[in-house]
Amino acid sequence: MSLSRRDFLKFGSATAAGVAVAGEALDLAPVEAAATSLKIKEAKAVRSVCPYCAVGCGQLIYAKDGKIIDIEGDPDTPHTLGRLCPKGAATIQLSNNPLRPTKALYRAPGSDTWEEKPLDWMYDQIARRYYDAREKHFIEKEKNKDGLAVTVNRLDAIASLGSACADNEECYLLSKLNRTFGIVYHEHQARV
């Protein structure tokens, strides 16, 4: 989606006055010209959804040169009308944040530090842990209450938690992985 003037004026439609404001001829005094360039004017805008509570406020994310420069409410959203709460208004700092690790990290048993590791190494190691746990602890058959052996194909040694922060598609993929792998300790925030 490219940012059009129409998108800007949406705010105004919430208060009739706003539209008229935009319609006013803007005859800038020289002193004001420098202060009135709009940082998001040349930015790419995409439609998004606030990642905090479950009201699901529509957001517009403005990005320039691969960096997010502004996130605000999407006025078209019928149930939120472009409004945000403080968390929604702070969403930009989830992305632009110096505290955010951008490398995969490993902490060895007993160590008191993290080590940066390549992604490929991490995936191999994690997969190996999953594999070993499954090979060692998998329960193929188990006796039922009547003492008969029943196929259960269950893995009790691995638990999975999360997440209500993940997208629907991601939740489905995790359900698919856990269940086809045999995992039953399979939960997320809705339980607590």
Partner 1 sequence: MARTLAMFTDTSLCIGCRACQVACKQWNELGLELPEWTGTYQNHTHFTDKTFRLVRFIEEPKPSGDLAWLLMSDVCKHCADAGCLNACPTGAIYRTQFGTVNINQDVCNGCRYCVSACPFGVVSFNENTGTAKKCTFCNDRIHNGLGPACAKACPTESIQFGFRDELVGRAQKRVETLKAMGFKDAQLYGADSSGFLGGLNAFFLLLSKPSTYGLPENPKLPQKNIFVDSLLSIGSALLVGIGALVAFRQRGTGGEA
Partner 2 sequence: MTTNLIDIQNSDVIMATSNMAENHPVGFQWVMKAKERGAKFIHVDPRFTRTSAAADIHVPIRSGTNIAFFGGLINYAIQNNLYFKDYVVHYTNAPYLIDPAFKTATDGNGLFTGFDAAKGTYDRTSWKYQLDGEGNPKRDLTLKDPNSVFQLMRRHYSRYTPQMVERVCGIPQAKFEEVAKLFCSNSGPEKTGTITYALNLTQHTNGVENIRALCMLQLLLGNIGRPGGGVTALRGHANVQGATDLELLYHELPGYMAQPLRDAHPDLTAYLEKETPKGGFWVNKPKFFVSLLKAFYGDAATKDNEFGYQWLPKRASADAYSHQHIFVDMYNGVIKGFLALGQNPAVGGPNAKLARSAMQRLDWLVVKDIFLTETAEVWKAPGTDPKTVKTEVFFMPAAPAAEKDGSLTNTMRLIQWHEKAVNPPGDVTSDAEFVCTLAQRLQKLYAGSKKERDRGFLAASFKYGSNPNEPEMVEVLKEVNGYATEEIVDKDGKPVYKKGQALSSFAHMTDDGKTAGGCWIYTGVTVEDADGKLINKANARKPADEKDYLGHGWGFAWPANRRILYNRAAADLAGKPWSEKKKLIWWDAEAPGNAPDKKGKWVGLDVPDFNPFLAPDAKNGDKPFIMRTDLVGGFFGPLNDGPFPEHYEPIESPVKNLLSKQQNNPVAKIWKVPDQKNELAGVGSTDYPYVITTYRLTEHHLSGVMSRYLPMLAELHYSHFTEISHELAKELGLTNGDMVTVMTPRGKIHVRAMVTNRFKPFIIDGKTVHQIGVPWHWGYNGIEQLPGSKGDITNDLSATVGDPNVYIQETKAFVCNVKKGVV
| Cis before 13 (ω within 30) | no
CA 164 – CA 136 distance, rounded (Å): 30
2 binds, among partner 2, partner 1, none (CB under 5 to 8 A by kind): none
| Cα 190–Cα 153–Cα 144 angle in degrees, nearest 5 | 95
Choice between 52 and 138, CB closer to partner 1? 52
Q: Which of 61, 45, 57 is nearest to 84 (CA)?
A: 57
131 binds, among partner 2, partner 1, none (CB under 5 to 8 A by kind): partner 2
21 binds, among partner 2, partner 1, none (CB under 5 to 8 A by kind): partner 1
Question: Tokens standing for 5?
Answer: 């003037």
Choice between 34 and 108, CB closer to partner 1? 34
149 binds, among partner 1, partner 2, none (CB under 5 to 8 A by kind): none
The distance of closest approach from Cβ of residue 84 to partner 1 in the complex, given in angstroms and rounded to an integer, is 5
Choice between 28 and 161, CB closer to partner 2? 161
Mode of pairing for the β-strands spanning 58-64 and 44-49: antiparallel
The distance of closest approach from Cβ of residue 44 to partner 2 in the complex, given in angstroms and rounded to an integer, is 8
CA 154 – CA 134 distance, rounded (Å): 9
Choice between 22 and 55, CB closer to partner 2? 55
Choice between 7 and 154, CB closer to partner 1? 7
Mode of pairing for the β-strands spanning 183-187 and 44-49: unpaired
Q: Which of 62, 73, 123 is nearest to 95 (CA)?
A: 62
11 binds, among partner 1, partner 2, none (CB under 5 to 8 A by kind): partner 1
Binding site for partner 1 (CB under 8 A): 5, 8-9, 11-12, 14-18, 20-22, 24, 26-29, 31-32, 34-39, 41, 70-73, 82-86, 88-90, 92
Q: Which of 98, 97, 51, 92 is nearest to 72 (CA)?
A: 92
